[in-house]
Amino acid sequence: MSLFARSAAVLAAAFALAWPAAAIDIQTVKSPGGIEAWLVEEHGLPIISIEAAFDGGGRLDPEGKAGLAYLVSTLMNEGAGEYDSTAFMQKLQDKAISFGGSADADAFYLSLTSLSANKAEAFELMRLAVANPRFDQEAIDRMKAQIFAAQKEQDEDPGSIAGNTWSERAFPGHPYGRRLAGTADSLAAVTREDILDFMQSRLGRDQLKVVVVGDISAAELGPLLDTLFAAIPEKRAAADAAPVTMQNGGKLDIVDRDIPQSVVVFGAPGLKMTDPDYRAAQIMNYVMGGGGFASRMMKEVRVKRGLAYGIYTGLSGSRLTDTLTGNVGTDNARVKETIDIAKAEIVKMRAEGITDEELADAKAYLTGSYVLGFDSNAKIAGRLLGLYLAGFDKDYVNRRNAEIEAVTKEQVLAVSQRLLDPNAFYWVVVGRPQGLQ
């Protein structure tokens, strides 16, 4: 029990010293052709992971063709060179190689994981997919059909309805208001020519970030980067979308659905991960609604009153805007009570900030748990790629805990006053809520 008897602040300081300075070694590798990658060598397991991201993604989709980036991402393992979809997939399976694309509103991703023993085949299949993807009409039609079906399911799923409605009305007319996978109409409008154009105009080596983790050396990785990405244009041709600020603050919309539990999504403008106030905002969010059972909202809504299975808030950064959002699901009869509690916590945080004890607890958790996100190759690759894309340098992981430690109560109050204007929040409720207008 000696550990628990110590103050949280002392524990947190111990963490800051212990981690992660000595534990994670990120190398910067530059290829002969000038492509940069972050490399974490880990030779304890016979596994290599390559995570590549091109800034851009769905926000660059042409007007009327939303869903293009997402569709292309699903096609990246659907055939290349002489191998059609089936042959390509079977080549991957024969060597137990995992390769595919994905996309979000801000980036287009390629991901490869292979056993060291099969790396030659893995690298060659990835190179081929980048250099010479087939985009056969059969595969395009099949992926479109699967996306259509998933979209229809989303159209009936209360959580998806709430999230999509919130984004659409918070960012009207902007790519961030569109659905990543598009609509039936916009996806139908995408042609094979659009897909070929995507590879030429929406990707560029100037937008490429690569993180490699596992059983590979810097000497081997350098030339490999040139081989893998040679076919990508040097610069991205497509122009970026415009920065945008969230709309409809102060409003509450109800989407009628005959379901027993209403789903509530709410949000306000946030701040950039690189903003000087971001660390203070992280602590504020942890105390208000981000900390699970440690958060004020969870204690009030779930623990004290049993109103919901959970209530959560979080800071989320996109390239062209930033938000502070939250969600909760609660019985139709008790939605108003739940929303009132959440609003009261927002107002209280803005007025009073946090206590010394809450500050210490938040720092102890946020610094102490950071290492938990770096205990596997897959997690390291994912975390580092996110930081790389957000514009951080590779030494950030070693500074981050000290930055959290330095935050004061006054800074938390100041950022609360900056962000938590009750009239900045836009609320969407999906269900049959009682007592709400």
* Contacts of other proteins in 14-43 (CB under 8 A): 15, 18-19, 23, 42
Eight-state DSSP code of residue 133: B
Round to whole Å and give the CA distance between 113 and 49.
4
Chain residues 131-150 in contact with other proteins, contact rule CB under 8 A: 138, 142, 145-146, 148-149
Q: Does 356 bind other proteins (CB under 8 A)?
A: no
Q: Minimum distance between the CB of residue 266 and other proteins, rounded to whole angstroms?
A: 17
Residue in 10, 45, 120, 347 binding other proteins, rule: CB under 8 A: 45
Instruction: Specify the residue for token string 């836009």.
Output: 426
Residue in 185, 375, 395, 410 binding other proteins, rule: CB under 8 A: 375
Chain residues 54-93 in contact with other proteins, contact rule CB under 8 A: 85-86, 89-90, 93
Nearer Cβ to other proteins (176/370): 370
Q: Does 192 bind other proteins (CB under 8 A)?
A: no
Q: Minimum distance between the CB of residue 151 and other proteins, rounded to whole angstroms?
A: 9
Q: Does 261 bind other proteins (CB under 8 A)?
A: yes
Round to whole Å and give the CA distance between 170 and 43.
46
Q: Does 113 bind other proteins (CB under 8 A)?
A: yes
For 287, the token pair is 């105390």
The answer to whether the beta carbons of residues 77 and 110 sit under 8 Å apart is no
The answer to whether the beta carbons of residues 52 and 109 sit under 8 Å apart is yes
Q: Minimum distance between the CB of residue 334 and other proteins, rounded to whole angstroms?
A: 9
Nearer Cβ to other proteins (241/255): 255
Q: Does 291 bind other proteins (CB under 8 A)?
A: yes
Residue in 115, 231, 254, 344 binding other proteins, rule: CB under 8 A: 115
- Return all residues near 188 (Cβ < 8 A) that are at least 6 apart: 144
Residue in 104, 157, 277, 405 binding other proteins, rule: CB under 8 A: 157
Q: Minimum distance between the CB of residue 302 and other proteins, rounded to whole angstroms?
A: 6
Round to whole Å and give the CA distance between 264 and 252.
10
Round to whole Å and give the CA distance between 122 and 277.
43
Name the one range near other proteins by CB under 8 A: 64-72, 221-229, 273-281, 288-296. 288-296
Q: What is the DSSP string of 271-299?
A: --TTSTTHHHHHHHHIIIIISGGGSHHHI
Q: Which long-range contacts (CB under 8 A, 24 or more apart) does 165-168 make?
A: 165/253, 165/255, 165/265, 165/428, 165/430, 166/265, 166/266, 166/267, 166/325, 166/426, 166/428
Size of the site for other proteins (CB under 8 A): 74
H or E segment at 23? none
Chain residues 302-321 in contact with other proteins, contact rule CB under 8 A: 302-309
Q: Minimum distance between the CB of residue 300 and other proteins, rounded to whole angstroms?
A: 12
